[in-house]
Every structure is written in structure tokens, then in C-alpha cells.
Amino acid sequence: MTDHAGTLNIEEFRAEVVEALSAVAVRRSDERSQWGVGDDRVSVVAERSEGEDEELAALRAYRAHLVACGLGWVDGPAQFGGRDLPAEYAAALRGLEAEFDLPDDSCLRFSVSTLTPTLLAHGSPVQQAAWLTRLRSADLVACQLYSEPDAGSDLAGLSTRAVRDGAGWRLNGQKVWSSGAHLSDVGLCIARTSPDKPKHAGLTTFLIDLDSPGIEIRPIRQLTGGASFDEVFLTDVYVPDERRIGEPDAGWSVVVTSLLNERSAIGTEVGVDEALVERLVDLARHVGDPLDERTRDAVAQIVTRAWAARLTTARFLEGGGVPGPELALSKLLATDLLRTMSDVTADILGAAHVADSGEWGTYAWSELTLGLPGLRVGGGTDEILKNTVGERVLHLPKDAR
């Protein structure tokens, strides 16, 4: 069977995927989860846990299995182990994966969905050959080193410096909100290389080894009690010039590409899960008053908007290719819907939302509420994304800078 859309039927491909997944995982039951049975967590925020190393090892074993089955990069170039199939085949794989009990792959989201297409667009042939296959197989885990404490939402206002040092560069600065840095091997870092140029024009990107001398990674404790984010300190970190991505002082174009792909990942992978919506419906049935018209209307609005958000994102991604600025809407839709869900659950639960009575499926919703501020910041704040939609999608006049 050849890997061309004209000869590989999508149903044959789906059968191939099911066979590969069935060899390493159990298919989930079609039965709806029962109220009061199993884990009652409802958080959509990744958390650091004591078993992270084992989870990462299981994830790497699963990704290695996909690669061995020819499913490591369905829509990727054949020269890097891909199948050169259309985007709909990759979407079919993701949909089938959701039907199986597989290792959590949230720590690979940046490596696979953001860094891989960024390297395809801006990496040299040598860099692509060295890193793309390893990123897709989870042999190499990457994180993002963009945000800084003093820059806020103005990413181009960063102060981390990179200065020429022989055949490489010396980096000094601090990065913050780096998801999964403690699990990562490398980080895509942006630094200022020409302070005399306009702020967007004097930046350069590097893929740096996180075990390099001078790098310190510290966890950031979240409101939820978890610590999936980190702050990363760089003190005289030496980076060879071959780790530079793109030309010197042209890093902003690399960042823009990565952010567009990050929004695409958020839209397709971090949207509101159907199971979470079902849990809210169950909450209204078992804890709230199912006959209360106000509650029924609020829950119905959430169910409808969740479907609309999924369909809207699917339309944005039709045909594959580089995602556009309209993907900012997908994240705005998802975070706004989660905020609404948090408000509705708080209204249904009352005091049980903030005081743990031990009753199943009640206080657990507080974790979503506490994690929501981080979701509204990660991948671009709501305000920045609204500017993106206004200026780059609706073509409204730009705000005064």
C-alpha cells in the first residue's frame, strides 16, 4: 500500500490505526461515565505529579510504537519519517487516539504541534535532519522560553541578551511560565541580540540544551497546588551558533510562526472536552435543581457553545497548511466557555464549591476555577488575542503603540 491520498483510502487508514493502537492500549467503553464512580477531577490544567518520570517513559514507548507502525508523523515529509498524507488523515489519527486509554501527551504539545512546524519553516537542512524525527518520536522533549517577568504581554519587550562569543553566543536573562521545562531536553529561546535596533528587529532564536551550565529551572506553584510551569534562569549560558534558528536579528518571524502553530494546537487539543461538558450536565442533574429554568438554560447554552466552538475550529483548519491569525478565536472561545462553566458550577454548588464536604463531584470543580487564570494567559492573553483578531482578521485600525 502506497502512502498517497489517491490510493490510500481513509477507511483503510483508520483500520490500520485501530490495529496499531489495539496492540498497546485498551479501547474505552462507549458507556457514559457514572455519577459517583471513579476519579472526580475535572481540571483541564496539567499538574506536576510524583509519577511524571514514569508517565514520560510510557509516553516515549507509545510514540516509539507509532513510529515503528509508520504513524509517527502522518502528514509529515517522508524524508523525516512522515507519510506525506493530507491533514485529514492526521485528524483521523487524533480522533481514534481519543478512543483509547493512552499516556497523557500534554508534555509533547509544544514539541510536536509547535516546534516541529516552526523548524520546517525556519530550520536549516542540518537542523531539520538532526531534530525533527527525534521530536516526533519523543526522543527529544522541548519547551518554550519566551515569556519574561518584566515583558508581560509585550513579548518583543524582552530583556534576555545574547552576545557573540567566538563561535557561539552567551545568554543571560530569565524566562517564566515555561510549561514542562523540568521535563524537557531543549528549549526554544528568544533573546535580544541588537539592542540598538527597533525591538522587533533585534531578536534571535536559539534551541538550547537545558542541561547546559548556567541554566537553573525552578517550579512555579499554582493556585491549584500544582507546579506544571517553571521559571528558567540563564547565567552566561554558552550556545553554539549552529543552535541558532534563522538569521541573526530575524527571530521575530520565527516567533510569529511558532505562535500561530501554538494557537492551532490550543484550538484543536485544548478545547473544551465533551466529557467535561457531560460532567457539568450530570452535576446539574444530581446536585442542582434539574427543574430550575435558569440552570437548564445556562447548561444548554454551554452544550451548544461547546459544539459550535469545535466546529468553528474545524473549519479554520480545513485543508491543512500554516494556521492563520483566526485561530486566536479558537482559544478565546475555549477559555470563555471554561469561564462560563466555572461560573455555572459555582452557582449550582454554592458553598460546596469552596468548602470540601467530601461529596463526590462537587469540590473537585474548584480546581477548574483556580486553574482558569493560567489558561487565560497561556498562549496569549485574552486582550492580546482580541487585538490579533481585530487587526489581522477584521482589519480594524491598529491601537496606538
Per run of 10 residues, the mean pLDDT along the chain (length 401 residues) is 59 96 87 78 64 87 95 94 90 89 88 94 96 95 93 83 97 93 95 93 97 95 77 98 97 90 64 81 88 91 91 75 75 90 94 92 91 79 87 86 64
pLDDT of residue 199: 87
Q: Give the torsion through C-alpha atoms of 371, 374, 375, 376, to 10 deg.
A: 120
pLDDT of residue 15: 96
What separation in angstroms does the CA of 336 have from each of 340, 350, 372? 6, 21, 10
Fill in the DSSP letter of residue 232: E
Q: Please provide the DSSP assignment of 149-185 as one string.
A: TTTTT-GGG---EEEEETTEEEEEEEE---TTGGG-S
pLDDT of residue 43: 65
52: annotated active-site residue: no
Classify domain 28-140 by CATH number. Answer: 1.10.540
pLDDT of residue 5: 45
pLDDT of residue 305: 94
Residue 145's SS3 state is: strand
pLDDT of residue 4: 46
Residue 191's SS3 state is: strand
Residue pair 395/401 in contact by the 8 Å Cβ criterion = no
pLDDT of residue 322: 63
pLDDT of residue 243: 98
**What's the CA gap between 271 and 11, in Å, rounded?**
26
C-alpha cell at 295: 440552570
What separation in angstroms does the CA of 284 have from each of 42, 293, 299, 370? 15, 11, 8, 20
Whether pTM exceeds 0.75: yes
Per-domain residue ranges of the chain: 28-140, 143-250, 270-393
Residue 264's SS3 state is: helix
Catalytic residue among 231, 262, 326, 367: 262
pLDDT of residue 1: 41
Using the structure block, give the residue that is written with the C-alpha cell 459555582.
Answer: 346
Does the structural domain 143-250 have CATH classification 3.30.870.10? Answer: no
Output Rg (C-alpha) for the chain, integer angstroms: 22
Name the superfamily (CATH) of residues 270-393. Butyryl-CoA Dehydrogenase, subunit A, domain 3 (1.20.140.10)
Q: Give the torsion through C-alpha atoms of 60, 65, 71, 73, to 10 deg.
A: 30
